[in-house]
Structure 1
Amino acid sequence: MSSIKNLWQNFADKHPGASKWVREGGLFVIVSNLITVFKYLMLLFLPLAFAGLPNIDFGFPGIDITLFGETFKWNIIGYDAAHGGLPYFCAYMVAMVIGECINFPIQRTFVFRSKGNIWYQAFWYLIAFCIVTCIVNSINCIWVAVAGMFVPDWLYNIGTTVLNGGVSMVVFFFVNKIIFPEGEAKA
């Protein structure tokens, strides 16, 4: 174990900028994937909490698209009734908000070691969350409608989790590098 620590210390001494990116990137991936798994587990059970809501189309803009013989409503945010509608949207948003409320302070404090203005950072993190959620949801609604036709359920579920977590993770890493600038973080 000490040889690994010495190897890392030598690398960090020779390449401080690269070692910071490796450390932050590695921790970011670990934390983000743990949060993604947590969201996935919540989404296994949360739809039951909203099962009493009407299963209606709930999304914007709700454009009808046909791909590979499957017609569905493409939404930037929300889901059509065939893919969960209002109940699933509510469950999805609760899981995403809870996940990010856990993710933000962990990333800020332990991954990026930021000492910057928390309100400024939280505001921009919220803006990024809204944008990333719309991007991921607009891709996910195509995946949900089409992938289920071609892949087994277990692979479909893994693909959905990786898509949601992966796209969000990459975007949020670069957003975090902007929100938690170099001058505010201590290495």
Structure 2
Amino acid sequence: MQWLVHEETEAWGNAWLSVRRLDVEQPDGQRIDYHAVRLKHVAAAVVTDGEGRVLLMWRHRFLTDRWAWELPMGLIEPGESPAEAAAREVEEETGWRPGELRELVYSEPAAGIMDSAHHVFRARTATRIGEPTEQNESDRIEWIPLGDVPAMIQRQEIVSGITLVGLQQALLQELLGLG
């Protein structure tokens, strides 16, 4: 069943997001006033090395007032492919240049209320190029054994949706001997 959008207008917006008001018709014919958020799309990277470690950042998210480990990630800029954005974010946020990036997983974290697409890539190598150029992203950048990730998730040391999806897909690939 498909919903029909009769009209969509912006209620509020800025450079990152747009809160939208939609006049939609549900499959049963009823029309309702619906609200949604349109966000820029996001790219992230699971960067691993030959020692079975993953590159993670320890950061504070002020909206939830929580410290947690996250993948390097950020918004896809106009004219940039998701893979280019993922590579740029890894370099800016960690000071490491990822090797070849391959698509790992795609997700839409809250498709009923927002349209943000999350593209996660995987690189199996990285080269240190210097200090991170983005100074507001994390307190620590560390290579953490991929095998430690399930316990970190259990302890809620990893809570970001895109990070969870990316790391769990990487672990699944490792478990199944794929990729």
TM-score, structure 2 length as denominator?
0.26
TM-score, structure 1 length as denominator?
0.25
Q: Which has the larger radius of gyration?
A: 1
More helix by share: 1
